[in-house]
Amino acid sequence: MVKKLYVCVLEAKELPVKNSRVKLKLGKLKFKTRILKNTFSPIWNEEFVFKVNDISEEVLVITVVNHSDESKVINGSGLVDFVGQVRIPVIAFQDKEILPPTWFSLQCPNKSAKFVNTFCGKILLTISLHCKGNANSFMNHKHSPNSDIAIENSRDLEGIHISSQPLSRKMGEGKHLLKVITNRLNRILNKKEGNSKSADCSETSNSLSDYEDSNSVQENSPPCSFEEGIAVMESRDSQPESPENLQGGILVDKIYAVSPYNLNIVLFAPNSQFRKDLAELQGTTNLQEGAWSWKDEDMSCLTRIVSYTKAASKLVKAVNATEEQTYIKVTKDEYAVLVSVCTPEVPYGKSFRVELLYKIMPGGDVSSEDESSNLVVSWGIVFLQSTMMKGVIESGAKQGLKESFDQFSDLLGRSFKVVDKTDLMNKEHLLATLQTESQMNWWQGLEFRGIELPDSFGELVTSGILIIQLQRVYDMVSHFVQARFQMGTDHGLKAHGDGWVLTVALIEGVDLASLESVGLSDPYVVFTCNGQTRSSSVKLETSDPQWNEILEFDAMEEPPSVLDVEVFDFDGPFDQDVSLGHAEINFLKHTSTELADMWVILEGKLAQSAQSKLHLRIFLDNNKGVETIKDYLEKKEKEVGKKLNIQSPHRNSTFQKLFGLPTEEFLINDFTCYLKRKMPLQGRLFLSARILGFYANLFGHKTKFFFLWEDIENIQVLPPSLASIGSPTLVIILRSGRGIDARHGAKVQDEEGRLRFHFQSFVSFGAASRTIIGLWRARILNPYQKEQITEEHEEQEVLVIPEDSGSILEDEAKMSKIYSAELPIKMTSVMEIFYGGNLEHKIMKRTGCMNYDTTSWEPVKPDVLERHVSYQFNRHVSVFDVTSTQQKFPNTNTGGWIVNEVMVLNGVPFADHFRIHFRYEIEKSVLGECACKCDVYIGIKWHRSSKFQQRINRNITAKFNIRLKEIFELVQKEILLMSHNSHG
Q: What is the per-residue DSSP string for 861-930?
A: ETTEEEEEEEEEE-TTT---EEEEEEEEEEETTTTEEEEEEEEEEESSTTGGGEEEEEEEEEEE-TT-TT
The whole-number pLDDT of residue 614 equals 94
Superfamily of domain 226-421 in the CATH hierarchy: START domain (3.30.530.20)
Q: Which CATH number describes the domain made up of 812-983?
A: 3.30.530.20
pLDDT in tens, 572-610: 554 567 889 999 999 988 888 889 999 999 999 888 888
Q: What is the per-residue DSSP string for 301-320?
A: -EEEEEEEEEPP-SSS--EE
Q: Is residue 527 a contact partner of residue 565, using CB atoms and an 8 Å limit?
A: yes
213 residue type, one letter: D
How far is residue 589's CA from residue 660's CA, in Å, rounded to a whole number?
Answer: 8
How far is residue 331's CA from residue 13's CA, in Å, rounded to a whole number?
Answer: 37
How far is residue 757's CA from residue 71's CA, in Å, rounded to a whole number?
Answer: 84
CATH topology of domain 3-196+203-220: Immunoglobulin-like (2.60.40)
Give the number of other Cβ atoms within 10 Å of residue 787's Cβ.
Answer: 11
Question: Measured in whole angstroms, how far is the alpha carbon of residue 308 from the centre of its chain?
Answer: 24
Closest CA to 25 of 75, 50, 56, 61: 61
Closest CA to 269 of 304, 318, 240: 304
Helix axes 273-282, 260-268, angle to 10 degrees: 60
Q: Give the three-state DSSP class for 493.
A: coil
- Alpha carbon of 106 to those of 11, 87, 93, 183, 284: distances in Å? 13, 10, 20, 21, 37
CATH top-level class of 626-795: mainly beta
- Angle ∠(662,664,668) on CA atoms, nearest 5: 105
Closest CA to 287 of 266, 303, 273: 273
Q: Is residue 302 a contact partner of residue 294, using CB atoms and an 8 Å limit?
A: yes
How far is residue 154's CA from residue 222's CA, in Å, rounded to a whole number?
Answer: 10
Q: Is residue 883 a contact partner of residue 766, using CB atoms and an 8 Å limit?
A: yes
CB-based contacts of 951, cutoff 8 Å, min separation 6: none
Q: Is residue 629 a contact partner of residue 644, using CB atoms and an 8 Å limit?
A: no
Closest CA to 946 of 973, 912, 917, 919: 912
Q: Give the three-state DSSP class for 257.
A: coil
CB-based contacts of 209, cutoff 8 Å, min separation 6: none
Q: What are phi and psi of 932, to 5 degrees?
A: -145, 165
Q: What is the per-residue DSSP string for 88-103?
A: EEGGG--TTEEEEEEE
Residues of the chain with pLDDT under 70: 68-81, 94-96, 109-118, 132-223, 297-299, 315, 365-369, 421-453, 455, 475-476, 478-492, 517-518, 571-576, 625-626, 639-641, 781-813, 874-879, 907, 983-984
How far is residue 646's CA from residue 669's CA, in Å, rounded to a whole number?
Answer: 9
How far is residue 569's CA from residue 577's CA, in Å, rounded to a whole number?
Answer: 6
pLDDT in tens, 717-763: 888 877 777 788 999 999 998 888 899 999 999 888 899 999 998 88
Indicate if the alpha-carbon torsion angle 586, 590, 596, 601 is positive or negative.
negative
Q: Give the three-state DSSP class for 467.
A: helix
- Angle ∠(171,173,177) on CA atoms, nearest 5: 115
The whole-number pLDDT of residue 179 equals 41
Give the number of other Cβ atoms within 10 Å of residue 796's Cβ.
Answer: 11
How far is residue 337's CA from residue 229's CA, in Å, rounded to a whole number?
Answer: 14
Q: Give the three-state DSSP class for 518.
A: coil
Q: Is residue 363 a contact partner of residue 372, using CB atoms and an 8 Å limit?
A: yes
Could you tell me how many helices (H) and strands (E) the chain has, helices first? 18, 43
The whole-number pLDDT of residue 452 equals 64
How far is residue 254's CA from residue 364's CA, in Å, rounded to a whole number?
Answer: 12
Q: Give the three-state DSSP class for 49.
A: strand
Q: How is domain 500-622 classified at the architecture level of CATH? A: Sandwich (2.60)
How far is residue 401's CA from residue 357's CA, in Å, rounded to a whole number?
Answer: 13
How far is residue 549's CA from residue 431's CA, in Å, rounded to a whole number?
Answer: 9
924 residue type, one letter: K
Q: Is residue 256 a contact partner of residue 419, using CB atoms and an 8 Å limit?
A: yes
The whole-number pLDDT of residue 371 equals 83
User: How far does the chain reach from its first CA to its final CA, in angstroms?
Assistant: 56
In eight-state DSSP terms, residue 276 is: H
Q: Is residue 406 a contact partner of residue 398, using CB atoms and an 8 Å limit?
A: no
Closest CA to 22 of 10, 8, 32, 11: 32
Q: Is residue 349 a contact partner of residue 376, using CB atoms and an 8 Å limit?
A: no
Burial 579-611 (b: 16+ CB within 10 A, else e): bbbbbebebbeeebeebbeeebebebebbeebe
Q: What are phi and psi of 313, to 5 degrees?
A: -110, -170
Q: What is the per-residue DSSP string for 212-247?
A: HHHHHHHHHSPPPPHHHHHHHHHT-S--PPPPPPPT
